[in-house]
Amino acid sequence: MTRHFLQLSDLSASEALAVVTRAQELKRLPDRSHRPFVGRTLAMIFTKNSTRTRVSFESGMARFGGHALFLHAGTTQLGRDEPIADTARVLSRMCDAIMIRNNSQADQQELAAHSRVPVINGLSDIHHPCQLLADIQTWIEHRGDIRGKTAAWVGDGHNNVCHSFIEAAKLFGFTLRIAAPEGYEPSATIVAEAGGAAILSASAAEAVAGADLVVTDTWTSMGQEDEQARRLAAFGPYQVNAELMAAAAKDALFLHCLPAHRGEEVTAEVIDGPQSVVWDEAENRLHVQKALMEYLLLGRIETK
């Protein structure tokens, strides 16, 4: 059966950990020594901007001996209303996997339902699961076993990265405390499905107190530009700055999926400071997505 990766919980806990472990292995391998994808292609559909997602998938496919096709949706027939189901049928007869970044988890599900090959969510309105694989790889790489640890999400809770973080908490066995302004809380369904692994906090200080990891994201996601002024006003007390970081554990790490807005959701002092591991986090997109594609396309976790 074709396996898709539309949200983090499409993997079991053991599969997710195996992918992250494999990513650490791949990171240590000389790039050109392992080419399992010679002759294989990945179609990458984008309706939104991207730096990391596009480059990590494209570079990852090339380093594995394969090829990635960048498809700006607006220049394909999707931009002239060809149904996404028909697009799935056609692409999946020509390519070995499809990655999609768009504004609709429902459309991604429709794409997957009609695809013979794995479909990977490269960000939607609801989830950003590839980001979380990289985030978890980074946290484990720096701190080892994360089971029983505490992470604090500060800022926009109704956010694709936050939703995937909630799923990660359940899958990887840590607690996620979320501090978000009223009206910007995460999806209640996603929180409920985490079965206690995700907890809403009353303030940023409460969420961060003693936490092992502090995470945030932009206050204005792609497509929300019209709401920017209202968001800037609402999120003021949720900035991750040195004072807030001082309330976390002494060795707490800082993560941000990027792109970041210094002076808004995070200060330059924090993101460019010693607790920040955002460049490792960005790099790990490359390694962990290679591990993910290996798993989805070859159906096994390789071990060296």
- Decide whether 123 or 277 has the Cβ nearer to ligand NVA: 123
Catalytic member of 7, 131, 137, 289:
131
Is the separation of the CB atoms in 271 and 257 below 8 Å?
Answer: no
Q: Which listed range, 6-14, 60-68, 213-221, 294-302, lies at the site for ligand NVA (CB under 6 A)?
A: 213-221
3-state SS assignment for residue 230: helix
| Distance (Å, whole) CA 37 – CA 62 | 9
Q: Is 147 annotated as catalytic?
A: no
Q: How far is the CB of 88 from ligand CP (least distance, A)?
A: 22
Report the site for ligand NVA in 103-162 (rule: CB under 6 A).
123, 159-161
Interface residue list for ligand CP (CB under 6 A): 50-53, 123, 131, 257-258
Contact call for residue 257 and ligand NVA (CB under 6 A): yes
Interaction partner, residue 51 (ligand NVA, ligand CP, none; CB < 5-8 Å by kind) = ligand CP
- Decide whether 160 or 284 has the Cβ nearer to ligand NVA: 160
Q: Which residue's C-beta sits nearest to ligand CP?
A: 53
Q: How far is the CB of 73 from ligand CP (least distance, A)?
A: 15
Compute φ and ψ for 43, nearest 5 degrees. -90, 130
The CA-CA-CA angle for residues 29, 30, 36, to 5°, reads: 75
The conformation of residue 275, written as its DSSP 8-state character, comes to T
- Distance (Å) of CA 179 to CA 59, 81, 147, 155: 35, 39, 21, 6
| Percentage helix, strand, coil for the chain under 3-state DSSP, each rounded to 5 | 45, 15, 40
| Distance (Å, whole) CA 148 – CA 61 | 35
Q: Is 257 annotated as catalytic?
A: yes
Interaction partner, residue 6 (ligand NVA, ligand CP, none; CB < 5-8 Å by kind) = none
Pattern 174-203, ligand NVA, x by CB under 6 A: ------------------------------
- Distance (Å) of CA 223 to CA 124, 219, 220: 11, 12, 8
| Distance (Å, whole) CA 90 – CA 198 | 40
Q: Is 52 annotated as catalytic?
A: no
Is the separation of the CB atoms in 171 and 9 below 8 Å?
Answer: yes
Which residue in 160, 156, 151 sits closest to 207, CA to CA? 151
Interaction partner, residue 179 (ligand NVA, ligand CP, none; CB < 5-8 Å by kind) = none
Q: Which listed range, 91-99, 217-225, 235-243, 288-296, lies at the site for ligand NVA (CB under 6 A)?
A: 217-225
Catalytic member of 125, 217, 231, 289:
217
Task: Spell out the residues 6+ positions from residue 22 whose beta carbon is closer than 8 angstroms to its own.
Answer: 291, 294, 295, 301, 302, 303
Q: How far is the CB of 254 from ligand CP (least distance, A)?
A: 15
| Distance (Å, whole) CA 287 – CA 293 | 10
- Decide whether 230 or 300 has the Cβ nearer to ligand NVA: 230
Q: How far is the CB of 55 from ligand CP (least distance, A)?
A: 8
Which residues are designated catalytic? Answer: 101, 128, 131, 217, 257, 285
By CB under 6 A, name the binding residues for ligand NVA.
123, 159-161, 217-218, 221-222, 257
